[in-house]
Structure 1
Amino acid sequence: MVALDAPLPYIGVTPFQLISALVILVVGYVLARIIVGLFKKSLGRTKLPPLVIEFLGRFLAVLLYVIVMIVALGAVGVSVSPIILGLSAVIGLILGFGLQDTLTNLSAGVWIAALRPIDIGEVVEVAGQTGKVEAVGIMSTELLTPDNKFITIPNKLVWGSVITNYTRMPTRRVDVDIGVAYGTDLDKAIKLAMDLMKNHPQVLDDPEPSVVITALADSSINLQLRAWAKTDDYWDVKGDLTKGIYELYTKEGIEIPFPQLDVHLKSE
C-alpha cells in the first residue's frame, strides 16, 4: 500500500500533494465560475450594456483561472515565487518587445465594449465578414454567420475596420430591382409596383414606399421598388416583393427582358 506522504518515484511528489492539487483545480474552477456568475449578475442590475458585462466577466474569469493554477502548483511543492517573477518578466517582454498585437487587441476590446459600435445579438458586417455578434472577448470578437459558421476576428481588426450594423436601427429600407422592356407603359408598371407595396401588411406607411427609375440600361429600363419595413421583417418583405413583382408583371403582360446582344455579320 502506497503511503500518501511518500514521494512517488521519478517525480518526487507525494500522492497527497497530487490529490490536493486536483482538488484545488476542481474546487477553484467551480468557485471561479460561481464568482464570475455572481459578478455578471450583479453588473446586470446596473445600466451597463450586456456587451460590457460579458467583456468584464471574461477578463475576471481569466484572472481567477491563473490564480487557481498558481495555487495548484504551489500545492505540489512548486515554488510560486519564481512563477510570479517569470510572469512579470514575460509581461515586461510583452510590453517592451513582443506580442504587441496582443495589447492592441486588448485595448481595442476595451474600446469596443465601452463605445459599443456593435452589441450582442446584432447582425453586423466587419472585416469582410457578416454575422450575428455572439460575444466580444478580451482578445477577439465572435460572429455567427447565417449559414451557422462560427468566426473569430481579432479585436484590432474590428476596431480598425468600417463596421456596418444591419440591425441597430428599428427600420430598414427594402430595395428590389427589376427591369422592364423598352416600350413598356411606365406609369402602369410603377402603379402596379406601388399597389403591391402598399397592400403588403409588413410594409410601413411612413416613410411612404416609392418606385424610381434607376437606369436606362442596354436591354431594359431599370426600376427600383423602395419599401420601408421593421428590421426584423426585412428579409420577409424583400422575398415577398421580389416574388410578387415578378408574378404581377407576368400576369399583366409587362415584359421583364433578359440581356440581349445583336450581332451583325459583314460578309466580304
Structure 2
Amino acid sequence: MAFKEKPPRGLLESFSDPLWQRLGLVVVGPQWIVKGRHRGFDWMAIELLHRPTGFRQTIMTTTVFVVRLPRKSKDWYLPADRITPDKQVCVDDACVYAAALGEQPRVRTWRQWLDLAVDAAEEVIRTEGARRKENPQQKAERADAPSWNVVDGNLASIWLVAMAFFTFLNVMGLWQAYGDWQGQGAILLCHGSKPFGTYLQGWKAAVYAISLVAPLPIVAKALHTVTTRMYRQAFRLQLCVEGLLWAGAMVGMHYVRDALVQSVRQAC
C-alpha cells in the first residue's frame, strides 16, 4: 500500500523536461509524493503547488503522475497534441507525465490516471526509434506541431485586449472624421474648454485619416498569427514582434495627428 511521503530535496530539478516546464508554470514546490508500481512500471504522484494561470488570483494545486521509463533515451516521443487544456500527457528522456491542470484526482481514480500514463509509456517504448526514419519535412512538421501551454494563451489575451480597445477608439475616430468630411468637407476637432479647434482639409485631412487606419493591418496580422500559430514554435516571439510594431505605429501615428492638430487652429 502506498503512503504519502515528504518530497526529497531537489526532486523537481531531477527531471529533464517535465510537464510543468512544458506548460510554462511557475512552480512553488511539491507538497508530497506517493510512490508505487503499476503494470510493471515505477510511478510517482506529485502534489504540485504553482502560481496562478491565466487571470486566476489563487495558488493552484495539480497532481502530476510520473511513470519512469526503463531507461533514458532521446528517442522517446509523444505527439504534441497529447497536451490539451483538459488533459496533459508528455514524455522526456526518462519519464512519462500525466495530469489535468489545476485538478487533484481522488485516490479511487488514480488507477485510471496510472493506466493513461502507462499506456503512453508502452507507446513510446513501442515507437522508439521511429523518428530516425523521418524525412526533413516530417521532422519540420513535428517540430512545429502545436502544444497547448499556459503562457501562449496569457500572452495572446494581453495583446489582443490592448489591440481591441485602441482599435475601437481608432475606428470611432475614423467614423467621426468621415462624418465631418461628408457634412462639411473637412475634419473638425473642437475643444469644449477652449474657443479654438482644428479644421483639417486636403492632404492634411487625408494624412489624419491614414494615421487612424495605419495600425489596423498590424492588428489583422496579429489576429492571423494567433489563429494559425498559437501553441506552435516561435509563436511568442512572433506575436511580441507584431505587438511592438503595433504599439510603435500607434505612438507614431498619435504624434502625427498631434502635429496636424497643432498646425491648423482656428475659432470653433
Q: What's the TM-score, normalizing by structure 1?
A: 0.27
Max Rg structure? 1
Task: Please report the TM-score for the alignment, with normalisation by the length of structure 2.
Answer: 0.27
